[in-house]
Amino acid sequence: MDDIIQGIAIYALPVIFAITLHEAAHGYVARHFGDLTAEKAGRISLNPLRHIDPFGTILLPLMLFLTSKLVMGNGLLFGWAKPVPVNFNQLRQPKKNMLWVAAAGPGANLLMAFFWAAIIKFGISVPDGIYTKPMILMGIAGIEINVILMVLNLLPLPPLDGGRIAVSLLPNRLAWKFAQIEPYGFAILLVLLISGALGAMLWPLITITKQMIVILFGLYV
């Protein structure tokens, strides 16, 4: 039980910030390119309460973490926040600007992974203290969560960010046809998850990305 409580304490902040900044980044970049929908809805904010989905951000991740910790010994996390509303038709150049709005979320996750790597680097460099180990463990959790969110969201499947990036890059006719997948995107993602295909596709990319961050920051913990 102590391990579970410690795990929740270590993962709570990284999860909240990973999801909050991901969504806020979409709204900020959409505003930059002319769409004020997210701003009018109060979603360009670092206040987690504006982005938290009670089920997707709190209940489901907590249930998955507790169940996987008890059954497998390793905490598994998966969740989502309330999507930031973006009206792509309000963008100055909708098809072109869509790429940057979509890429902003994964980009924010990459920057946060770098931030948590810097936290680990700092924790390694200072003398051992009461906060050193929790700091390093939180940094490890932060890298893992943000890399997973980044890689998952870059999957080229509408309505994920990678799907919108693909729509932006494809020629108009192909882009229109590809965008028609969006209503079925979540169901496809669920099938991939249950079948194990999603993990088979994503985990090699997640592992490689984490290894690159370790090498970049010289982390050996």
d(CA 8, CA 75): 9
d(CA 189, CA 66): 23
d(CA 204, CA 25): 26
Instruction: Extract the tokens encoding 213.
Output: 């961050």
- Is the backbone peptide bond immediately before 156 cis, with ω within 30 degrees of 0? no
Instruction: Extract the tokens encoding 17.
Output: 């910030």
43-48 CB contacts, 8 Å cutoff, 24+ apart: 43/82, 43/84, 43/85, 46/20, 46/21, 47/20, 48/16, 48/17, 48/19, 48/20
Beta carbons of 46 and 20 less than 8 angstroms apart:
yes
Indicate the DSSP class of residue 50. Answer: G
d(CA 96, CA 43): 23
Token pair 């996987």 is found at 68
23 is catalytic: yes
Indicate the DSSP class of residue 90. Answer: G
Instruction: Extract the tokens encoding 108.
Output: 């924010």
Choosing from 23, 39, 144, 182, the catalytic residue is: 23
Catalytic residues: 23
